[in-house]
């Protein structure tokens, strides 16, 4: 008789594994739309920059949410609020250990104080998720990767489906410092890509797409914005992808317009080393 003394979870193979053809993702589409030069620095030159505190908090809370969804898929019940907070805060600590990009103001206040506040804030956001978001959904697909092959293009399109529910809802969960509107959801290429991925994976159209937002404000709060996706949305996404691919093939990477929100020291990690910014004014 064979005795099994230890069981290990083996993740299924990723569709990205062994995929030799270059690909573009939603994050690449977003960055290219904001500033093609920043995209070139990141994806051509390989010039990576560490995340800021707000981004790291979002990743940590998102990870706590993912762990909860995976538990709920099997157990049909959420983790406790304390468990979700612990997971998110541990993730935040590990990200801090790996290194964060701090602003001048954050460095002036002192890294120990700033990091302590960041962990406290992560706990608050994770608690809000546990109480307001987690009970609302029963997951069916979690962090599901997909590849949409573009046979005539130089790149394929890849994505990760945050969450699809048993009601065929496609849900993108995020933290944010700015208010999102119904128009943001109605025209979001990210939600369009995730809806396309859901349709490819399941063979069914999503019943709706949702943006479920935790606002990282002084008093954290939550909002849910809903929309639909159809063929016209997929066509618009294809046009956006094609325009990006044409620019890449032509080596066309113009900078963002000066004075825009993205082209600033606080919003762009490449600002201080950008050849399009006057060095003496940095």
Report yes or no: 150 and 159 within 8 Å, Cβ to Cβ: no
Band (278; pLDDT cuts 50, 70, 90): confident
pLDDT at 12: 41
Query: What confidence tens digit (pLDDT) does each residue in 86-141 have?
Result: 999 999 999 999 999 988 899 999 999 999 999 999 999 999 999 999 999 999 99
Q: How many residues are present in the chain? A: 282
pTM of the model: 0.88
Domain-by-domain residue ranges, the chain? 21-44+138-260, 46-136
Report yes or no: 126 and 85 within 8 Å, Cβ to Cβ: yes
Helices (H) and strands (E) in the chain, counts: 9, 6
Percent of the chain clearing pLDDT 70 (strictly above): 91
pLDDT surpasses 60 at 15: no
Q: What is the mean pLDDT of residues 165-181?
A: 97
pLDDT surpasses 80 at 245: yes
Lowest-pLDDT range of 47-51, 81-85, 102-106, 165-169: 102-106
Helix (H) or strand (E) holding 121: helix 111-128
Q: Who's near 151: CB < 8 A, 6+ residues apart?
A: none
pLDDT surpasses 70 at 34: yes
Give CATH for domain 21-44+138-260.
Answer: 3.90.320.10
């Amino acid at each position: 008789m064979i005795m099994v003394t230890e069981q290990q979870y083996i993740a299924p193979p990723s569709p990205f594994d062994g995929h030799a053809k270059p690909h573009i993702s939603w994050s690449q589409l977003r960055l290219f739309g904001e500033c093609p030069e920043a995209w070139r620095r990141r994806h051509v030159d390989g010039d990576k920059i560490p995340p800021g505190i707000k981004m790291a908090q979002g990743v940590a809370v998102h990870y706590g949410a993912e762990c909860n969804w995976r538990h709920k898929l099997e157990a049909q019940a959420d983790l406790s609020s304390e468990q979700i907070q612990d997971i998110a805060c541990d993730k935040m600590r590990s990200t801090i250990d790996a290194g964060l990009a701090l602003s001048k103001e954050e460095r002036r206040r002192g890294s120990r104080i700033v990091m302590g506040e960041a962990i406290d804030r992560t706990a608050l956001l994770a608690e809000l998720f546990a109480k307001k978001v987690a009970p609302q959904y029963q997951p069916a697909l979690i962090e599901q990767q997909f590849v949409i092959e573009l046979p005539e293009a130089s790149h394929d399109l890849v994505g990760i489906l945050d969450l699809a529910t048993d009601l065929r809802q496609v849900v993108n969960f995020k933290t944010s410092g700015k208010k999102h509107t119904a128009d943001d959801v109605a025209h979001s290429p990210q939600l369009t890509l995730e809806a396309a991925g859901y349709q490819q994976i399941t063979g069914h159209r999503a019943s709706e797409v949702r943006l479920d937002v935790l606002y990282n404000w002084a008093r954290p709060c939550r909002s849910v914005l809903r929309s639909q996706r159809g063929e016209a949305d997929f066509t618009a996404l294809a046009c956006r992808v094609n325009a990006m691919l044409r620019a890449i093939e032509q080596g066309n990477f113009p900078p963002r317009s000066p004075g825009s929100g993205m082209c600033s020291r606080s919003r762009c990690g490449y600002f201080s080393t950008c050849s399009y910014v006057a060095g003496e004014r940095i």
